[in-house]
């Protein structure tokens, strides 16, 4: 028999569901001017300072990027108050998740993540022949006690998205510190803080505070959400120097493109854009959750720029009906929450349009 082309664990991977470009969806569904509230992007758009910096750098595209990310790391180190040696840049924080897994997991090693959580962790682990250990959330939040109990001699990495995607919940600082005490040395805890800029409670922990602790905490951040640069693909990880050095051995020399480096650096100092983004999210959340509540549907509390709605029916059907009205949200069946849809806060006009489409869809389902 011919040798299989790929290992079982690659054969069994499900490709990331390829979303169609908006233009194709519009053609298919016969709609125009659709709005996308599906991927937790920043509806306000990119930081104008980033756009300016990128325009100014276009003439240098014939050169390779700075493989060390010197200026961006310098900017981050000043802003965060830590050494550039603690920072690794990535092609989105997605790449950092992949690099962490490729650096620290050997085939057969275990990585623990919650369920539901960001789906990329498990995909990356499976792609290198690692074992995914999955611990269900408890009352919508990471079950830290359950996760600590699931640790074995083969556990290498624990992924905690704080806040959690899709629930929008955060881990309480005291519980996190107790959890760290229960984790054996040598196990890396990844605090994925993709939505940290949106957090309004001060009850949660910040991964950066543990950089000099005895624990191996890696903090991941991204420019894709609050900074509005999802299309550029740029994120970073903050970790002990020894961990950064291992990751630097395996990353591609030019993993972060030159436009991403200058754009992210400019966005870092664009406080006006960040403040405008937070205001838009806060006001949008108040408006949407209030109105949806008035329609009789429950919105889950959130510390992010997105939230879940309990449709009390088939969430995928609601998603499809919204699509026909040109409103793109995220169905949650892949996260085993079949009654829910996830919506990202949009601009005021987009929020309004969502509401009227949602109202129509739910009323017509009620009549069926
Ligand atoms: C929890 C979480 N982490 C990381 C990411 C990925 O961000 P990036 O665009 O930096 O790869 C996302 C994006 O949706 C996310 O929800």
pLDDT tens per residue, range 149-161: 999 999 999 999 9
Nearest to 179 by CA among 197, 201, 200, 204: 204
How many A from CA of 233 to the centre of ligand 1?
Answer: 10
Average pLDDT over residues 294-320: 97
Judge if the upstream peptide bond of residue 305 is cis by omega within 30 degrees of 0: no
Same domain, 252 and 314: no
Enter the tokens of residue 102: 């490729």
- Does the pLDDT at position 19 exceed 70? no
Residue 54 lies in a domain: no
Q: Is 255 in the pocket of ligand 1 (CB under 6 A)?
A: no
Domain hosting residue 115, numbered range: 59-269
pLDDT tens per residue, range 171-230: 999 999 999 999 999 999 999 999 999 999 999 999 999 999 999 999 999 999 999 999
Confidence band for 24, pLDDT divided at 50, 70 and 90: confident
Query: How many H-runs (helices) and E-runs (strands) does the chain carry?
Result: 13, 13
Average pLDDT over residues 57-68: 98
Cα–Cα distance, 110 to 98 (Å, whole number): 15
Q: Is 230 in the pocket of ligand 1 (CB under 6 A)?
A: yes
Quick one: 37 exposed, middle or buried, by C-beta within 10 A (0-12, 13-18, 19+)?
buried
pLDDT tens per residue, range 123-150: 999 999 999 999 999 999 999 999 999 9
Ligand 1 pocket test: which of 194, 229, 335 has the largest number of ligand atoms within 8 Å of its C-beta? 194
Ranges of beta strands (E only) in the chain are 35-36, 87-90, 110-115, 131-136, 155-161, 188-192, 216-222, 235-238, 298-299, 306-310, 327-328, 330-331, 340-344
Residue 160 lies in a domain: yes
Same domain, 114 and 195: yes
Atom of ligand 1 nearest to the CA of 95: 11
Same domain, 231 and 302: no
Same domain, 97 and 224: yes
Same domain, 153 and 263: yes
Same domain, 353 and 244: no
Same domain, 125 and 260: yes
Q: Is 40 in the pocket of ligand 1 (CB under 6 A)?
A: yes
Confidence band for 368, pLDDT divided at 50, 70 and 90: low
Split into its structural domains, the chain has a count of 2
For the ranges 6-15, 77-86, 171-180, 333-342, which has the lowest average pLDDT?
6-15
Higher pLDDT, 42 or 3: 42
Residue 83 lies in a domain: yes
pLDDT at residue 18 in the model: 63
Cα–Cα distance, 78 to 109 (Å, whole number): 36
For the ranges 27-31, 96-100, 107-111, 294-298, which has the lowest average pLDDT?
27-31
Same domain, 34 and 64: no
Same domain, 166 and 293: no
How many A from CA of 62 to the centre of ligand 1?
Answer: 29
Same domain, 14 and 150: no
Is the Cβ–Cβ distance between 161 and 167 less than 8 Å? Answer: no
Ligand 1 pocket test: which of 118, 163, 232 has the largest number of ligand atoms within 8 Å of its C-beta? 118
How many A from CA of 367 to the centre of ligand 1?
Answer: 38
How many A from CA of 203 to the centre of ligand 1?
Answer: 22
Confidence band for 17, pLDDT divided at 50, 70 and 90: low
Atom of ligand 1 nearest to the CA of 224: 9
Residue 51 lies in a domain: no
Domain boundary among 269, 304, 327: 269
Q: Is 93 in the pocket of ligand 1 (CB under 6 A)?
A: yes
Average pLDDT over residues 90-96: 98
Taking each helix axis as running N to C, give the angle between helix 258-268 and helix 70-80, from 0 to 180 degrees, rounded to the nearest 10: 20
CATH code for the domain of 198: 3.40.640.10
Average pLDDT over residues 96-102: 98
Domain boundary among 235, 269, 303: 269
Enter the tokens of residue 211: 């950089």
């Amino acid at each position: 028999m011919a040798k299989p082309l790929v290992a079982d664990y690659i054969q069994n991977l499900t490709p990331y569901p390829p979303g169609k470009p908006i233009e194709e969806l519009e053609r298919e569904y016969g709609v125009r001017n659709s709005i996308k509230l599906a991927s937790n992007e920043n509806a306000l758009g990119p930081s104008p300072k980033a756009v300016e910096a990128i325009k100014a750098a276009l003439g240098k595209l014939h050169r390779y990027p700075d493989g060390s990310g010197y200026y961006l790391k310098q900017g981050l180190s000043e802003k965060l108050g830590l050494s550039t040696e603690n920072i690794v840049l990535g092609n989105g924080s997605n790449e950092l998740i992949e690099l962490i897994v490729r650096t620290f997991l050997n085939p057969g090693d275990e990585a623990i993540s919650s369920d539901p959580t960001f789906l990329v962790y498990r995909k990356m682990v499976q792609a290198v022949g690692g074992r995914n250990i999955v611990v269900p959330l408890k009352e919508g939040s990471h079950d830290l006690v359950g996760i600590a109990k699931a640790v074995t001699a083969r556990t290498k990495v624990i992924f905690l998205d704080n806040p959690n995607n899709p629930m929008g919940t955060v881990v309480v600082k005291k519980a996190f510190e107790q959890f760290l005490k229960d984790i054996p040395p040598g196990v890396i805890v990844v605090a994925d803080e993709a939505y940290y800029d949106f957090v309004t409670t001060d009850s949660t922990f910040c991964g950066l505070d543990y950089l000099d602790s005895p624990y191996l905490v890696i903090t991941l951040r991204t420019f894709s959400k609050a900074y509005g640069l999802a299309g550029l693909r740029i994120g970073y990880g903050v970790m002990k120097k020894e961990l950064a050095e291992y990751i630097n051995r395996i990353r591609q020399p030019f993993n972060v493109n030159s436009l991403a480096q200058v754009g992210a650096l400019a966005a870092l100092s664009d406080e006006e854009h960040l403040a405008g983004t937070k205001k838009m999210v806060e006001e949008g959340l108040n408006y949407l959750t209030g109105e949806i509540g008035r329609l009789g549907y429950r919105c889950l509390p959130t510390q992010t720029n997105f939230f879940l709605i309990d449709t009390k029916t088939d969430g995928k059907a609601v998603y499809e009906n919204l699509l026909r009205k040109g409103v793109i949200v995220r169905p949650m069946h892949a996260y085993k929450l079949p009654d829910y849809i996830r919506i990202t806060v949009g601009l005021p006009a987009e929020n309004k349009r969502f509401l009227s489409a949602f109202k129509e869809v739910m009323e017509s389902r009620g009549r069926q």
